[in-house]
Amino acid sequence: MENIMFSSLMIGKTKIKNRFGMSSQKNCLSTLHGYLTDRNVDFIVARAKGGFGLLFTNPFSVDPDYKCFSFDPSLNSDDQIPSNQIVTRKIHELDSKIFITITHPGLDCSISYSDKPGLTPTLTYTNYLSSYYQQVITINEIKKIETQFGSIAKRAKIAGYDGLLISARKLSLLSLFLSPWYNQRSDDYGGSKEKRFRIIAEIYKKVRKEVGPDYPMGLELDATQLFPPGRTVEDTAELCKDCQDLGFDYILLNRHFAAEESHYNLAKKKIYFSQDCDFGKKIKASLSIPVLLNTAFYDFNQMEKLINDKYADLLCLGTESLAEPNYPKFC
C-alpha cells in the first residue's frame, strides 16, 4: 500500500505529487534590488530534485520600500519577471509545484534596508518596540498596499508560479491587523473581528481579480498568539472558516507566536518548540479545504501519523529541508 506521505493532494485544481513541502526560507540570496540570483534558483531546484512536491519561495514584499531582509526577492516591476520564470520552468521540469509567498513586513521590516519605521495598525509599546520603529498606517496607505498585493500576484502568475500564499504571521502587517492586541483602531479596519478581517477580504478580492478563479490562493497564520488578548486556537479556527467562505483554497498554519517572551523561555515551557500539533487537528476539523502545517518534524512515522489522523494534509519542512535537500528520498 502506498505510504500516504507519497500520495498526491489537490489544492484547488492544482495537483501536488506528494505531502512534502518546503517552507518559505529567508535565505537572503537575492540581489539588493530583489532580482533572483543563480544561488536562489539552485537552492530551490535542489529541493525539487530531492523530491519535495510543493515549494514555497522566500517572502516577496509587496511594497518596494519595505523588506523583511535587505536581500529578499522582489516582484514589484515587470523587469523582475524573467528571473522568476527561470526558476518556475526548472521546477516544472522536475514535476514539482512552486507557490510564491507574498507579504507586507509590517513591524518585521529590515531597518538596514530602509530607514522608514514599520507600519502598524496602532502604536503598541512593548519591551522592544518603541514609537521610533512604528508608524500608524493611514487609510490611503491601506488602499495602496491592497493594490500592491494584486499587482504582485498578477506578475507571479505571468512568471509561472503555480499558486500563491499571503503571509499573515508574526509581526507582518496583516497579522497585526488580525490581532486585537496590535489593532485597536476605531475606523472600519479595527475593533470587531469582522473589521479586523476587512483588510484580508479586500486583498483577497484584489488578488482574485488579477489571477482568476482557479489560481490557488492560501493564507498563512500563526495557530495562536500567546499574549493577552491574543488569538486562541478556537479564534483561529473561526478565522480559517471565514477564509474558506471567502474563497481561499488552503490554509498554512505555523506554531504559536509569542512576541513578549524569548524563544529560550518558551522552549523551557515546551510551548514554542513542542511537537504538540493538536491545534492542526482542531482547526482542520472545521474546514473542507487543505490544511498545511509549517513546523519541525524529525520522525517520519510521526509525519505519516499526522496525515493519517487528519492533523494536516501536507507538511512543510523548514530546518529539515535546509539541512537536507533530499529529505523525502530518505523516508
pTM exceeds 0.85 for this model: yes
Q: Which residues contact 63 (CB under 8 A, 6 or more apart)?
A: 76, 104, 145, 148
* DSSP helix/strand/coil, 217: strand
Q: How far is CA 125 from the centre of its chain?
A: 25
The strand ranges marked E within the chain are: 9-11, 14-16, 20-22, 54-61, 97-103, 118-120, 134-136, 163-168, 217-222, 250-254, 291-295, 314-317
Q: Which CATH superfamily is domain 4-330 in?
A: Aldolase class I (3.20.20.70)
pLDDT digits (tens, 9 = 90+) for 6-18: 999 999 999 999 9
Q: How far is CA 258 from the centre of its chain?
A: 17
pLDDT at 94: 97
Grid cell locating 245: 467562505
3-state helix, strand, coil in the chain (%, to 5): 40, 20, 45
* DSSP helix/strand/coil, 22: strand
Please tell me the distance from the alpha carbon of residue 278 to that of residue 272, in angstroms, as a whole number. Answer: 13
pLDDT digits (tens, 9 = 90+) for 135-171: 999 999 999 999 999 999 999 999 999 999 999 998 8
pLDDT at 116: 82
Grid cell locating 71: 536581500
pLDDT at 131: 52
pLDDT digits (tens, 9 = 90+) for 168-187: 998 899 999 999 888 999 99
pLDDT at 264: 43
Grid cell locating 78: 515587470
Q: How far is CA 47 from the centre of its chain?
A: 18
Q: At what angle do helices 193-211 and 233-246 cross, to 10 degrees?
A: 40
The full set of domain ranges for the chain reads 4-330
